[in-house]
Amino acid sequence: MSDTGSADALASFLMDLRDTPEEAAFRAELRAWLEEHLPEELRGHRGGAARFDDPALRAWSRALYDAGYAGLTWPKEYGGAGAPYTFQAIFLEELARAEAPPHIGVIGIGMAGPTIMAHGTEEQKARYLAPILSAEEIWCQGFSEPGAGSDLAGVRTSARLEDGYFLVNGQKVWSSFAHIADWCILLTRSDPSSTRHAGLTYLIVDMHAPGVEVRPLRQITGEAEFNEIFFTDVRVPVENLLGDVGGGWQVAMTTLLHERGTLGFALQAALEVQVRKLVSLARDRGAEPLQRDRIAREWIELQALRYTNYRALSQLVKTGIPGPEGSISKLVWSEANQRVTKLALELLGPDAALGPENAPYGGYWQHQQLRSRGNTIEAGTSEILRNIVAERVLGLPKSR
């Protein structure tokens, strides 16, 4: 052995794709639990707005909570399991495998909760966190506005500090769950003379307060999954301030970090279901050689997404910082989901044109394909995500 090539460098422990004994035990237990407790009517639900109003989904969320599966990565002091991120990944994988719906409190668990933990007062943590996990209270997000989509710093909904309360006026849009939500995480402009990132304030708003009006937005699918929220002279008590007055941008970044940070495995799990259904459809109906090639491509893309998520997750577990690979999950998933659902329609042939009443599989694919067009827009458009990869991962100069 020469000096440059130290033999020591050739000693290592293998990276390991297998579950640890603890992970394996958790997976087995969860799989058995899902087998026993998942109601048949919730299995393989096509999703969409109808799902949100279904009382069975609340009951399901409650069951997840009672079994200790809600808020797996939340610290124990806030009612979570304090489990490592790998357990959350396994949870999402197994949920997908069983085609079980997620907990209804996705905004609360994934966004509002972590933001409150990071920026909230002790009173706020004590008041808001527990009912998120138990699905007793549902949360929605009030960030986007008609004039502030990708450019979130253009928020104009105003919050004027009065005597002991903020007076909120404005309009939010694209808010999932708002029609059933109890609370809203709301990004407002508290300093009317400010522009851009300064002068923003982050509030927790009671969705049942006078002056809050929710109007469903009917989408391309015909369903109303999102909503507009109108705020007219809504009084928000000052104790509902999250972070500092004027410090809303920093708080909002925490929310978005969590939105994207925990998203990868959920998306992978969703794609897993789609690809499995696609393969089953092709088995039922047959596929031409070129379609077979595309099916194989999508299956491979799913594996690529899975192991990219594993890489990001392993990095997160080891260092506390997700790997840069993680930033591409949503970009890859959204485009894959669009291709998979369109390929499914192609396999359906003329049946693809039928409405939900007459279409095979209850119109699952028609709904999914139309819904997928939103995937490259919501939670960061593909254009914004490509900017993020170019600027933050590759270090290219800013485009604006």
Partner 1 sequence: MDLTFTPEQEALREQARHFLAATPEPSWRELAELGWTGVSIAEEEGGAGLTFVEEAVLLEELGRALYHGPYFSTVALTLPALPPDLRAAVAAGEASWTLAFGPLVPDLDTAERVATVGGDGIYELEGAEREVLATTDETRPLGVVRGGEPGRRLADATVLEEIRSRSHAALAIEACGVAGRALELAVEHAATREQFGRKIGAYQAVAHPLADAYTRLELARSLALWAAWCVAERDPQAALAAAAAKATAAEAAVRVCETAIQVHGGIGFTWEHVLHRLYKRALWIESFGGSGTRLRAEVAAALLEGRAEPEVGVPPVPATVEQGG
Among 137, 223, 259, 301, which one carries the catalytic annotation?
A: 259
Does 344 participate in binding partner 1 (rule CB under 8 A)? no
Helix (H) or strand (E) holding 310: helix 289-319
Instruction: Give 172's contacts (C-beta < 8 A, 6+ positions apart).
Output: 142, 143, 144, 145, 157, 178, 184, 186, 228, 229, 231
Site for partner 1 in 268-287 (CB under 8 A): 279, 282-283, 287
Angle between helices 289-319 and 329-348 (to 10 degrees): 160
Does position 323 interact with partner 1 (CB under 8 A)? The reply is yes
- Cα–Cα distance for residue pair 161/201, rounded to 1 Å: 11
Minimum Å distance from CB 149 to partner 1?
Answer: 17
Give the binding range for partner 1 (CB under 8 A) out of 189-197, 208-216, 228-236, 292-300. Answer: 292-300
Nearer to partner 1 among residue 134 and residue 382 (C-beta): 382
Six-digit token string for 304: 């690529």
At its nearest, how many Å lie between partner 1 and the CB of residue 121? 37
Q: Should residue 21 be labelled a site residue for partner 1 when binding is judged by CB under 8 A? A: no
**Which residue lies nearer to partner 1 by CB, 43 or 386?**
386
Mark the segment that binds partner 1 (CB under 8 A) among 48-56, 95-103, 308-316, 350-358. Answer: 308-316
Distance in angstroms (rounded) separating the CA atoms of residues 133 and 231: 27
- Footprint on residues 211-230 left by partner 1 (CB under 8 A): none
Q: Which residue of 156, 297, 339, 373 would you call a contact of partner 1, by CB under 8 A?
A: 297
Distance CA 133, CA 109 (A): 7
CB 400 within 8 A of CB 369: no
Backbone angles phi, psi at 200, to 5 degrees: -95, 145
Distance of CA 173 to the CA centre of its chain: 17
Q: Kindly tell me which of 8 and 122 has the beta carbon lying closer to partner 1.
A: 8
- Which of 348, 21, 363 has the alpha carbon at shortest distance from 223? 363
Q: Which residues are catalytic?
A: 259
Binding site for partner 1 (CB under 8 A): 1-2, 4-7, 9-20, 23, 86, 89, 279, 282-283, 287, 289, 292-293, 295-297, 299-301, 303-308, 310-311, 313-315, 317-318, 323, 325, 328, 331-332, 383, 386-387, 389-391, 393-399
